[in-house]
């Protein structure tokens, strides 16, 4: 009896370990995460306007249909990313996600405080290599450190009413995301 | 022989409990650091690097990209204030006020996060297009058949989710009291 109690206790403990391990391994094991879903539609280091979600097709689940959305699937292995997004008339935001869908930075038009959101994205290692004086002259450009080499930038522009969707999409078409080789 | 049976039993038990708990926590949407106001629950930390492992696992499994903390916060509701699950064959009202935000949107999704087909092609409202009373409060009628005023069609599906997104809002990780966030009340008005 005692012996079976011990086996059960061991099973419970081991079960707890299995549970924690599978939860922690999920981000690496998931095949239908946002990045994987965007691979077929969004080329690397370019801004791509996403089709609006419809009842039939939605590239990602839980997309906000009131927003026009553009994605830049980035790869920082050959340089840094320069993002330039003119703000739309209503509300514009930029959110940076790691390869594993963690939102590590987000900024909206009002916080950016200008007519365009201009950002440089690079790895922390590359940021550290920028000479200090250059960092000062470039101070008006916000530099974001990406925790991962690859990831996703999502640009969102609000259409306060459905008739304004073309306006929101136009603002996104003008946005640019391009790689600047390491010098 | 006893050892073999014993260890086999232990491993089977471990696999059943471990995988079962993982499946349950990911399908039920377990996450820590939630903020609940009435029928609405938000996980502000899910929009930051401090996302907890359960919320992270849920997100990568669904394929969703959470709203970043510098962008806004998303509140999810699966039931009304009384705890009745949202049924697309019933009528629900969503009424009251919202916390301060530059803009907000409310959207109806099926359980997989897809939009629901309906005759007027409406999937939600924004703060700009909603029809309000004189005092600024509003009522949205979520129902399968057309209603006067702010009608949000359910398409008659069995289960749905409402997501309330506040953009450019002071509501977030630092919000501790419900007073800062008066979320609209949700009530069931009957089923067809």
| pLDDT bracket for residue B174 (50, 70, 90) | low
**Nearest by Cα to A12 from B11, B2, B8, B23:** B11
Which region holds residue B99: left if phi is over 0, alpha if psi is between -120 and 50, else beta?
beta
pTM score: 0.89
Q: What is the pLDDT of residues B74-109, one digit of tens each?
A: 999 999 999 999 999 999 999 998 888 999 999 999
| pLDDT bracket for residue A60 (50, 70, 90) | very high
| pLDDT bracket for residue B22 (50, 70, 90) | confident
CA atoms within 13 A on the CB side of B142: 32
User: Is the per-residue pLDDT at B178 higher than 60?
Assistant: no
Q: What is the rounded distance in angstroms from the CA atom of residue A105 to the CA atom of residue B165? A: 18
A&B contacts, CB < 8 Å: 210
| pLDDT bracket for residue A102 (50, 70, 90) | very high
Q: What is the DSSP string of B56-80?
A: HHHHHHHT--PPPTTTEEEEEESB-
Mean pLDDT of the region B128-139: 90
**Chain A residues near residue B68 by CB distance under 8 angstroms:** 93, 95-96, 103, 105-106
Is residue B162 within 8 Å of residue B38, measured between CB atoms? Answer: no
**How does the average pLDDT of chain B come out, rounded?**
89
Q: B105, A64: Cβ pair inside 8 Å? A: yes
Mean pLDDT of the region B55-76: 92
**How does the average pLDDT of chain A come out, rounded?**
89
């Amino acid at each position: 009896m005692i012996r079976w109690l011990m086996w059960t206790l061991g099973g419970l403990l081991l079960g707890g370990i299995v549970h924690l391990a599978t939860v922690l391994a999920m981000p690496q094991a998931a095949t239908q995460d946002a990045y994987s879903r965007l691979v077929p539609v969004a080329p690397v280091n370019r801004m791509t306007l996403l089709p609006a979600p419809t009842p039939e097709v939605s590239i990602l689940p839980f997309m906000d249909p009131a927003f026009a959305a553009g994605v830049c699937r980035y790869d920082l292995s050959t340089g840094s990313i320069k993002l330039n997004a003119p703000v739309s008339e209503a509300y514009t935001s930029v959110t940076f996600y790691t390869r594993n869908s963690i939102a590590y930075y987000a900024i909206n038009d009002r916080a950016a405080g200008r007519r365009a959101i201009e950002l440089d994205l690079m790895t922390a290692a590359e940021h550290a290599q920028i000479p200090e004086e250059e960092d000062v002259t470039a101070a008006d450009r916000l530099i974001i450190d990406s925790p991962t080499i690859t990831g996703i930038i999502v640009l969102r522009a609000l259409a306060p009413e459905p008739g304004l969707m073309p306006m929101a999409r136009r603002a996104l078409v003008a946005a640019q995301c391009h790689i600047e080789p390491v010098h | 022989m006893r050892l073999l049976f014993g260890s086999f039993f232990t491993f089977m038990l471990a696999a059943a409990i471990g995988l079962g708990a993982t499946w349950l926590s990911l399908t039920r949407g377990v996450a820590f650091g939630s903020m609940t106001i009435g029928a609405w629950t938000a996980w502000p930390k899910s929009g930051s690097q401090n996302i907890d492992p359960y919320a992270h696992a849920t997100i990568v499994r669904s394929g969703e990209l959470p709203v970043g903390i510098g962008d806004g916060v998303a509140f999810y509701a699966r039931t009304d204030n009384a705890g009745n699950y949202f049924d697309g064959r019933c009528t629900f009202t969503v009424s009251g006020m919202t916390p301060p935000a530059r803009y907000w949107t409310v959207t109806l999704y099926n359980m997989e996060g897809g939009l629901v087909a309906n005759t007027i092609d409406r999937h939600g409202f924004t703060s700009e297009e909603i029809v309000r009373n004189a005092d600024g409060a509003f009522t949205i009628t979520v129902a399968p058949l057309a209603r006067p005023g702010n009608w949000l069609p359910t398409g008659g599906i069995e289960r749905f989710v409402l997501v309330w997104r506040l953009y450019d809002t002071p509501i977030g990780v630092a919000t501790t009291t419900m007073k800062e966030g008066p979320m609209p009340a949700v009530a069931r008005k009957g089923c067809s």
